[in-house]
Structure 1
C-alpha cells in the first residue's frame, strides 16, 4: 500500500516568475526610490482619470445639485483619483521587486546599492529597534503583500533581514570589486 503525501498547507515562500526576484518584502522607501519615471507618469495619469471623468459627466449631463454641490463632489472624485493613482504607482514599482515584470534596471540598482553597503560595513537592509521575533512577524505579515494591495493596502515599513533572497551574491560581488581595486593599485 503506497503512502500518500500530505497536502501542503503553507504556500511556498517564493513565486515562480520570468524575471529575478529582487526582494519579496521591499521597504516602502525602496519601492519609491526604485520607481521609474513611467511609474510616476502613469500614476499621475490614473489619478487624473477620476476628476476628469467626473467633470466631463457633469458637462455632458449636468446633475443640477444646486449651488455649491459640485465642489465637494469634485473634491471627492479628486481624492478617489489620487488614491487610485498612488495604488497604480506603487503596484507597478513593487511588481518589479517581485520579478513579475521586466526589472533589469532595478536588479542593477539593487546590486549597486547592496554592494556599496557591504563595502561600507553597513547592514544590508538597515537597522531596527524591534526584536528579532517582531521583525519576523512584520516580515511574515508583509511578504508579497503588494499582490493583494488592491484589497488590503499593506506596505513594509520595518527594517528586517528576511527578504527571500540569498544575500551571499552581494558579498561575493563586493569581494570581486575589492580584489579588482587591489590589483589595480598594485599595478
Structure 2
C-alpha cells in the first residue's frame, strides 16, 4: 500500500512531504514581504480599531499591541510556510523551486525515528527524515 496517494497537480511535484528546513530555505522574497506585512498589519489593525472606537484605555495599549505583534508574526510565518509548501507540492507555480531542487541531492531517509504511520498521521511540521518524498515510480 503506497503511503503517498497519486494526485494530479497543476505543476510538477518537487517534494510530497518536505522537511521544515527545506520549506524555509525555499521561501521567496514575496513570502518574506507577506510575513512582514502580516506582522505589521495585526497591531496596526488593533490600533486603528482603538482610534475609531476607543475603549478609553489608550494608555494601556502596550500589552495588546505586543500580543498583536506576536500573533501577526506567527500568522505571517504560517502564511509564508504555507505558500512555500504549496509550491513544493506542485499546487502553485514553482519554476524557481524546480531549478533549485535540480541542483540539490534528493532527500534521504537516514535519520527517521518515527514509524511510517506516525509520519503520515501527525499534522505537524516535518522534522524527521524519511524516504516518502515522492510517489513510487511505476
Q: Shorter-chain TM-score category?
A: 0.7 to 0.9
Alignment pair present for 1:125 and 2:95: no
Instruction: Give the secondary-structure state (helix, strand or coil) at the position aligned to 1:113.
Output: coil
Aligned residues: 136
Distance change (3 Å), C-alpha of 1:62 and 1:86: same
Alignment pair present for 1:164 and 2:118: no
Distance change (3 Å), C-alpha of 1:26 and 1:129: closer
When normalised by structure 2's length, the TM-score is 0.85
Is the Cα–Cα contact under 8 Å of residues 19 and 129 in structure 2 kept in the other structure? Answer: yes
**CA-to-partner distance for each residue in 1:130-152, whole Å, 9 max, x for gaps?**
2xxx342343135xx5xxxxxxx
Q: Please point out which of 34, 42, 52 is paired with 1:50.
A: 42
When normalised by structure 1's length, the TM-score is 0.64
**Aligned twin of 1:79:** 70
Map 1:1-187 to 2 at 5 A. 13-65=5-57, 67=59, 69-114=60-105, 124-125=107-108, 127-128=110-111, 130=113, 134-141=114-121, 154-165=124-135
Is the Cα–Cα contact under 8 Å of residues 10 and 91 in structure 2 kept in the other structure? Answer: yes
Offset at residue 109 of structure 1 (A): 1.1
**CA-to-partner distance for each residue in 1:30-77, whole Å, 9 max, x for gaps?**
00001111111112112211111111222233211264x211111121
Residue ranges of structure 1 left out of the alignment (5+ in a row): 1-10, 118-123, 146-153, 168-187
Instruction: Indicate the structure whose relative CO is greater, using CA pairs within 8 Å and at least 6 residues apart.
Output: 2
Distance change (3 Å), C-alpha of 1:60 and 1:91: same
Distance change (3 Å), C-alpha of 1:79 and 1:47: same
Is the Cα–Cα contact under 8 Å of residues 135 and 158 in structure 1 kept in the other structure? Answer: no
Q: Distance in 2 between matches of 1:135 and 1:37?
A: 35
Q: Distance in 1 between matches of 2:84 and 2:136?
A: 21
Larger Rg: 1
Which runs of at least 4 in structure 1 moved beyond 6 Å after TM superposition?
A: none
Offset at residue 125 of structure 1 (A): 2.6
Q: Distance in 1 between matches of 2:40 and 2:22?
A: 25
Report the aligned-residue RMSD. Answer: 2.4
Residue ranges of structure 2 left out of the alignment (5+ in a row): none
